[in-house]
A and B are shown apart, each in its own frame.
Chain A
Amino acid sequence: MSTVRYEVSHLRALESEAIFIMREVAAELEHPVLLFSGGKDSMVLLHLAEKAFRPGRFPFPVMHVDTGHNFPEVIEFRDRLIERLGERLIVASVQESIDQGRVVEETGPRASRNRLQTVTLLDAIEEHGFDAAFGGARRDEERARAKERVFSFRDDFGQWDPKAQRPELWTLYNGRIRKGEHVRVFPISNWTELDVWQYITEEGLELPPIYFAHRREVFRRDGMLYAVSPFVELIDPEEPFETSVRYRTVGDMSCTGAVESVADTLEKVVAEIAATRITERGETRADDRATEAAMEDRKREGYF
C-alpha cells in the first residue's frame, strides 16, 4: 500500500470537515437556516450543502437579509441560483423593519444600513423559530474571529459572549440549547480566503458578476472606491468617474469598496488575490475600519 493513496488534499479535508458540521447541525437541531449574503463564502456554503444532502433536499431553508441597498446584480443572481437549487428562500427585509419602526434609518452622506441588519436578522430568527443559523464566516477574516467556535452560542438577545464559549474537542460538537437561544454555525471556519478561491476554481462555482472586473461609475472616499448609487450622497469635492473595478466581498452598495482591477476571469482574480498584501476586510469594508474593535462590538450585538 502506498501511503500517498490514503491522503487527501487540504481542500478535500476542509470540505469533508464542513460537510460533517452541516450534517451534525441538521441532525441535532430542530430548525436550522442557512444565511445567504450573496458573497462568495455563502456560495461555498450552498455548494457544500448540496454535497452534504443531495440527492435529498436541504433540511433547512435559505435566508437572505436584504438591506434594500444591495447590488441589483447580486439579487438577480440569488434568485436564479435558488431556482436552480429548488430550495426555499426567505427574504428578511431591512426596509420592512424600518417601515415598522423597529429601527431608525441613519441619515447623512455616510449613512449605512449595516447596523440595522442585526435587528432584522434577530427578528427573523425569532419569527421563524430558527435555532441554528449557518454563516460563512472564517477565522482568518478578522482577529476577533480567531477564537470563535464553529458552534457559536447566542443568548436570547442574540449576543455572543467570548468568555463563555463551550470548549470544542475532537469533532464532538455540542449543539444543545435552551428555548429562545440559537447557535451560529460556521462550517468553513478553518478556510482562508485563498482556500475559498481555490475551491471555487476547482469546483467551477458561479459567482455574482460584481466579483469580476467591470466598468463602473465610482468615487473615491477615505482612500477607497465606492459605487455611485441612489444610496449614497457625494460629499464635496468627491467626483464620480468611470473605471474598471471588481469587488472582493459583497455587502451594501453604500459601504462596500471596490478595487481597481482588470481581472475579468476567475483565474485572473485568484492570481491577483494571491499576490495581494492587504486583507479583504482592511481593503474593502468601511464598516470594519471605524474602530479597531468594531467587528468585536458588532458580534456582541448579534451581527453575523
Chain B
Amino acid sequence: MAPGPASDGQVEIGAERTLDLLRFATAGSVDDGKSTLIGRLLYETKQIFQDQLEHVQETSRRRGDSYVDLALLTDGLRAEREQGITIDVAYRYFSTPRRKFIIADTPGHEQYTRNMVTGASTADLAIVLVDARKGVVEQSRRHAFIASLLRVPHVVFAVNKMDLVDYDEAVFERIDEEVSGWANKLDFTDVTFIPMSALHGDNVVERSERMPWYEGPSLLYHLEHVHIGSDRNLIDVRFPVQWVIRPMADEHHDYRGYSGQVGSGVLRPHDEVIVLPSGRHTRIQRIDSEGGRAIEEAFPPMSVTLLLEDDLDVSRGDMICRAHNHPVPTRDLDAMVCWMSDMPLRARGRYGIKHTTRNARAIVDALRYRIDVNTLHRDEEAAELGLNQIGRVHLRTSAPLLVDEYRRNRATGSFILIDEATNDTVGGGMILGVEPADGGGDGGDA
C-alpha cells in the first residue's frame, strides 16, 4: 500500500499504485473477433473471477463448443443474449500493474454508428479490428473515419485471425499498405498495426513466436505504454463554471467559489484571468482542490474550485480563461454532426443544445452536406440527416457560446443536440472552423 493520499492529485513517482487511466474503444464488423479479443484481454489480465469463468465454461459446454468461448464473457443484456449480438456500448474494466483501462465496447453494425461515436468521444485510443482473410472492408473504413472525426489520438488496426492465413507476413503487409494509403487522408496522429489471433492469443499479451517477422509490440504492451499525457491541451486555459459554492454559514461568510472541471490549460493562483461572457478581468486568488484544500496548480481532468480576487457576478455557464487567450462568443456554429435519432435532422429544425455547462437553443440554418461514412463521398443535395448519418451543418444559437475548434479542444469544441419534445439526446456535434482566438500562448507553458 502506498502511504497516504497523493498530493495535488499527481502521480506519486515510484509508489506502487501510480496507475494512470487509459480509455479505449473497440470497433469491428460482426464476427471479426471483438468479443473474443476483449474476453482474452480480461482473462489474461486476471479480471475474470472464478464464478464468471465457470459460467462461461458451462455455457460453452452446453452449446457443444470445442473450446471455451471467451467472447461469452462480455455478453450483456438478455435481449442481446437471445439475439446473439451486441447492440449497445458496454463498458469493461481491467488493469495491469502499469495502467487501469476502461474499454468502450462498441458494436460494429452500420446502424450502430452512433454507438461508436459515443465510445470514441471519450477514448484516448481506438482499436479497429480487421479480419485477415477479408482484408479491409467497408466497415473498416467507416470505423477509421469515425475515429478520425472524433479525433481519437491513437488508433490501432488489429489484423485478427492471422492463424487462418498461416500467420503470413504478406497478408499483413497488404492490409497495412492498403489502410495506410487511405488513412493518410484521415489525418491521424498515431497509427499502429498489429497482426494477431485473438482466439489463440498471439500478440495479444505476449509477442507471438508464430510471427517472428513482426517486430512491434503486443497489443497489451502497446496499450500499457502508449503516451497519452501530451494528448491533452495544456495551453489554452478553459474553465467552464459548473457550480457556485456559497456557504450560508457564518464561518465561511465571504467564501464564494467557482467549481468545475478544468477543460484545458493549466491554472495557478495569481494568474490574471478573464470571465466570459462578461469580459471582466480579475486574478485567481486561490485554487481549492476537492473538499477545500488549497493547491498550486490545476489542469485537466481535475475538478477544482476557483476563488477570484474581485467580487464578480459569475454563474454556471460562464467560462474562465486567460486574458489573452480565450474563445470569442459566437452564435454561429459550423459543425459536423452525427445524428442519433429516428426523426431526421432537417434545415429549420430546432433543438436544445448543451455545450460545456451552458444550455441554449439552436436552429439548423443549413445542412451543407451529408457524408457517406463508407466512401467519404459528400452529398451536397442531401435534405436530411437520418439515424446514424453524419453531415456538416450550420447552426444558429439563441445565446452566445464560448467555442473552440474541436480539433484543438475536445472540451470546448463538442456539443450535444436535444429534442425538446422527447428530451432525448439526438445528435453529437464537433465544431469545425472558428476564428482563431486573439493572442494565444500566454496560458500554460507546455
Let me know if A277 and B50 touch, CB within 8 A: yes
Give B1-32 as 1s and 0s: 1 = Cβ < 8 Å from A's Cβ atoms. Answer: 11011100111110001111100000000000
Segment from A9-17, A33-41, A128-136, A247-255 that makes contact with B: A9-17
Which among A4, A17, A55, A169 has the highest number of chain B CB atoms within 10 Å? Answer: A169
Let me know if A278 and B301 touch, CB within 8 A: no
B268 within 8 A of A: no
Let me know if B91 and A139 touch, CB within 8 A: yes
Closest to B50 in A: A277
Check A170/B49 contact, CB under 8 A, given A9-B20, A23-B303, A55-B252: no
Give A5-49 as 1s and 0s: 1 = Cβ < 8 Å from B's Cβ atoms. Answer: 111111111111101100110110000000000000000000000
Closest to B421 in A: A178
Let me know if B340 and A13 touch, CB within 8 A: no
With a cutoff of 8 Å between Cβ atoms, the chain B residues found around residue A272 in the complex are none
- Give min CB distance, A292 to chain B, whole Å: 8
Give CA–CA (A277, B43) in the complex, Å: 12
Let me know if A267 and B229 touch, CB within 8 A: no
Interface range on chain A: under 10, 10 to 19, 20 to 34, or 35 or more?
A: 35 or more
- Those 6 A-B pairs whose CB atoms lie nearest each other, nearest first: A51-B290, A282-B51, A12-B9, A176-B423, A19-B303, A277-B50
What are some 22 contacts across the A-B interface (CB < 8 A)?
A4-B11, A6-B299, A9-B12, A11-B17, A17-B301, A19-B261, A54-B292, A55-B245, A56-B245, A146-B74, A146-B90, A147-B90, A167-B115, A169-B414, A169-B428, A172-B415, A174-B354, A176-B423, A190-B91, A202-B2, A202-B6, A278-B49
Q: A7-B11, A146-B91 are in contact. List 12 more A-B contacts (CB 8 A).
A: A9-B6, A9-B17, A11-B17, A16-B303, A54-B245, A55-B247, A144-B76, A169-B425, A169-B428, A170-B122, A278-B50, A292-B55
Residues of chain A having any CB pair with chain B under 8 Å: 1, 3-17, 19-20, 23-24, 26-27, 50-57, 139-140, 143-144, 146-147, 162-163, 165-172, 174, 176-178, 189-190, 192, 194-195, 198, 201-203, 267, 270, 276-279, 282-283, 292-293, 296
Residues of chain B having any CB pair with chain A under 8 Å: 1-2, 4-6, 9-13, 17-21, 49-52, 55, 74-79, 88-93, 95, 99-100, 102, 114-115, 117-118, 121-122, 227, 229-230, 232, 234, 242-243, 245-249, 252, 255, 259-261, 266, 290-292, 299, 301-303, 316, 340, 352, 354-355, 357, 410-411, 414-416, 418, 423-425, 428, 445-446
